[in-house]
Copies of this chain bind each other. A is one copy, B any other.
Amino acid sequence: MNLAIIFGGQSYEHEISIVSAVTVGRVLETSPLYIFLDSDNRLYEIPSNKMSSKLFKSGEYRKEKKLNFTFNGFTTEGFFKKELKGFTVLNLIHGGQGEDGTIPALLEFYKIPYIGPRKDASTISYNKHLTKIFADSIGIKTVDYETLYIGDERKLHKLSYPVIVKPLSLGSSIGVKVANSDDEFQYALDVAFEYDSEVIIEKYIDGVKEYNLAGIETDKFILSIVEEPQKGDDILDFNTKYLDFSRDSRVVEANIDNEIRLLIQDSFKKIYSPIFRGSLIRCDFFVIDDEVYLNEINSVPGSMANYLFNDFESTLKELSENLPNVGNISVKYEYIDTIQKAKGK
């Protein structure tokens, strides 16, 4: 598997992506090509022995080889151009450009094969409101919610406290707060609106059972184990969640009834197919009264959820060898004559 990891990017999760890239590189047998996208949209090839957080924090990465997109790959800048071609790009930019459709648009435009959500899938998973609507349309339950725009009257319309307030388009618990009262709600809105002009407010269920499952579909599904994620003292502790991105050791399978496991797997398949083809995603579910609820779709999961798979490398290989075709539209020139004639030109 000839893999290039693209990471960094303009995103509030830029740092998380660096940690993720280091982790994924570490668990793969063959060292990938590392392509760093900085916050100024410049690309750099990073030698694997230099892959450490210091390089990026210090700005030292700017001394590495600058790359530009070209058809089927990248070229180095300068007089003698080196071409980097013949690999599959793993999109490991969390949030921002990685999940808002920018990276898929660039990679498809330049005809570079890639692992990651396609444009449609990005739209659905990046916007938590659309995720709700999508889930509903395929018969998957989600927790009750309402949304608020930044200029709207700041009150609850149908939910009651406690609620959880989230920026509409961010992952990794950034800007997320639980509110138990009006005062806390106003504060939670202040925080969330720092990151997004729209927020989603959900009923908060204390102590709810949470389960994660990752997987891919090619001609068959390959699903990971079901994990009950460890929670810190505070369910929303950013540092605890953040550590997830550097996880590289296998976790223990959740201790749940087989019936619930099957329900979770079945929900995952419904969500994945066909819109998430080409990507490895992790879905986070709640189980409430023996029913499965979708909490979130992570279309570029932290460290690709490598720790959930029995054989992560072969799962990634299977995916890279079975990427969906980009549906090219064949252009015809049937009507131009008609029009020009009709216009007398």
A150, closest chain B residue (CB): B274
Number of copies: 2
Q: Does A181 contact B (CB under 8 A)?
A: no
Interface size of A by CB at 8 A reads 59
User: What are some 14 contacts across the A-B interface (CB < 8 A)?
Assistant: A10-B329, A14-B329, A14-B332, A15-B335, A15-B336, A41-B110, A53-B337, A56-B333, A97-B109, A101-B101, A102-B108, A106-B106, A242-B335, A246-B339
Contacts of A333 in B (CB 8 A): 15, 53, 56-57
Contact between B109 and A329 (Cβ–Cβ < 8 Å)? no
- Chain A binding surface, main DSSP class: helix
A248, closest chain B residue (CB): B343
Q: Contact mask A1-40 → B, CB, 8 Å, 1/0? A: 0000000001110111011000000000000000000110
> How far is B255's CA from A163's CA once the two chains are assembled, in angstroms?
51
Q: Does A259 contact B (CB under 8 A)?
A: no
Contact between A39 and B102 (Cβ–Cβ < 8 Å)? no
Given contacts A10-B329, A339-B243, contact A119 B106 (CB under 8 A): no
Q: Does A96 contact B (CB under 8 A)?
A: yes
List residues 34-88 of chain A with CB under 8 A from any CB of chain B: 38-39, 41, 52-53, 56-57, 68-71
Q: Does A123 contact B (CB under 8 A)?
A: yes
> How far is B132's CA from A130's CA once the two chains are assembled, in angstroms?
13
> How far is B44's CA from A33's CA once the two chains are assembled, in angstroms?
32
- Show the binding face of A for B, using Cβ within 8 Å: 10-12, 14-16, 18-19, 38-39, 41, 52-53, 56-57, 68-71, 96-97, 100-102, 105-106, 108-111, 119, 123, 127, 130, 133, 137, 147, 238-239, 242-243, 245-246, 328-340, 342-343, 345
Contacts of A102 in B (CB 8 A): 105, 108-109, 119
Q: Point out the residue from B14, B71, B111, B137 that lies within 8 Å of A331, measured CB to CB.
A: B14
A16, closest chain B residue (CB): B335
> How far is B339's CA from A245's CA once the two chains are assembled, in angstroms?
9
Given contacts A15-B334, A100-B119, A130-B130, contact A328 B10 (CB under 8 A): yes
Contacts of A130 in B (CB 8 A): 130
Contact between A96 and B335 (Cβ–Cβ < 8 Å)? no
Contacts of A331 in B (CB 8 A): 10-11, 14-15, 38-39
Contacts of A11 in B (CB 8 A): 329, 331
